[in-house]
Amino acid sequence: MDLSIHQPVIARIQQFEGKQITLNGWVYHTRDLRKLVFIQLRDGTGTIQCIFNKEEVSEEIFAAAQSAGQESSVSITGKVVADPRSPLGFELQASNIEVHQAVSDYPIGPKEHGTGFLMEHRHLWLRSKRQHAIARIRNELIKAIRDYFEWQAFTLVDAPILTGVACEGTTTLFELDYHGEPAFLTQSGQLYMEAAAKAFGRAYCFGPTFRAEKSKTRRHLHEFWMVEPEVSYLDLAGDMELTEDFVSYLIGRVCGERTEELAILERDVGRLKAAARTPYPRLSYDEAVEILKKEHNIDHEWGKDFGAEEETLLASRHDQPTFIHRFPAACKAFYMKRDPDNDKLSLSMDLLAPEGYGEIVGGAQREDDYETLVGRMREEGIPEQPLSWYLDLRKYGSVPHAGFGLGIERTLAWICGIKHVRETIAFPRMLEKIWP
């Protein structure tokens, strides 16, 4: 029986045992033993070994198999047979090969390449086994995010990418001209989700955000994806409970569904699985400052946010992510509600990933009183007119509400055990890098 397959099937190859099929893909690796040619063929879902026997195929077909270099695009026809030595448990006894484009000078070979070289060839580096594993884990993470919020009765509301206001301060905005008016690439969809939460009770947005930070650290990108839920009738304690339930679910989901990919990345899954346990440790900002002073001899200036080194030290005390809550109001945004017991503190929280990956979640209870919010804006010199719609939310049915934002790339770097976030997205945007 001849079965021509015109879609990726290697991942489900067991369905075709004993059948003649045609696989379309690219040559991952070739091994020539004179009388036998072994081609590792990939199609995006997996890799399978295809064997050409010189005594069973024509000279022309055998020569074509020998000459198909790395990343040549080919269609290979053959019989699917079981082979317990193969990672898939099957191989293809090839009878024909059609070479669509022969490649002999693919720039990324089996030798070691520097990161700079690989980033210049990012469009090709994506074809490697390691990058496939990262991309599949990212895909699973995103699916898990959407599933979680669907199960928790959230409504997806898309926030705009072009905005007229700043959410996280004006120093990191990408400005552009919008028909003669200044506009910006969004830093966050949070303000819009506050409006959505008043309409739907529970809402979230999920999309790209942009920060023009002059930073070259391993934790920063200029363009990254963020998921931002917002919930009406929720306080800071509930916000932290929602966050830990969400993050622990994501970790458990990835560990359960992407074991093969985590193994390719040599990730210590045991350490990762610890993060699926709740509740997560909680430290107030004041407690964190005291720990830095007593345990690490760091005299952190009260009122300042924590730096990367300080976050690493605080998070290294546990295998689980660690909450830091009630930051000084002076280092947080104007819309964060103040602690009723101490006006110098905000009802805010960060979630720090262990192993040196830093903040993966930032959230807070929002200020829900109109007069208080107006007063804060005036204190900080924030113009009211562009945010008049945001102030309306405090005039018409205001309620306590809270939410958070989780950065996909930094979370994925932690899950995969990747040192730099540049590998967590297909085409990273960094300082001085806008291509490919």
pLDDT digits (tens, 9 = 90+) for 290-301: 999 999 999 999
Mean pLDDT across 352-380 = 96
Q: For residues 265 and 260, give the distance between their C-alpha atoms in angstroms, rounded to a whole number.
A: 9
- Cβ 378 vs Cβ 370: under 8 Å: no
Which is more confident, 156 or 419?
A: 156
Q: For residues 360 and 348, give the distance between their C-alpha atoms in angstroms, rounded to a whole number.
A: 14
Structure tokens at 261: 């990919």
Structure tokens at 8: 């990726």
Bridge partners of residue 78, in order along the sequence? 21, 94
Helix/strand number for the chain, H first, E second = 13, 19
State the pLDDT at residue 246.
98
Lowest mean pLDDT among 109-113, 241-245, 365-369, 412-416: 109-113
State the pLDDT at residue 1.
39
- Cβ 88 vs Cβ 29: under 8 Å: no
Lowest mean pLDDT among 58-67, 167-176, 178-187, 253-262: 167-176
State the pLDDT at residue 359.
96
Mean pLDDT across 36-63 = 95
Q: For residues 414 and 280, give the distance between their C-alpha atoms in angstroms, rounded to a whole number.
A: 16
Burial class (CB in 10 A: 0-12, 13-18, 19+), 92: buried
Mean pLDDT across 93-121 = 92
Structure tokens at 269: 């899954």
**Can you say whether the dihedral through the CA atoms of 421, 427, 430, 436 is positive or negative?**
positive
Nearest to 420 by CA among 224, 268, 219: 219
Lowest mean pLDDT among 103-117, 185-199, 243-257, 401-415: 103-117
State the pLDDT at residue 10.
85
The alpha carbon torsion through 8, 140, 161, 241 (nearest 10 deg) reads 170
Distance of CA 348 to the CA centre of its chain: 23
Lowest mean pLDDT among 77-86, 98-107, 161-170, 339-348: 161-170
Report the residue count for the chain. Answer: 436
The residue to which tokens 């989901």 are assigned:
253
Give the pLDDT confidence of 407-433 residue by residue, as tens digits: 999 999 999 999 999 999 999 998 878
Nearest to 154 by CA among 199, 208, 209: 199
- Judge whether residue 2 has pLDDT over 60: no
Q: For residues 413 and 434, give the distance between their C-alpha atoms in angstroms, rounded to a whole number.
A: 21
State the pLDDT at residue 8.
55
The mean of the pLDDT values for the chain is 93
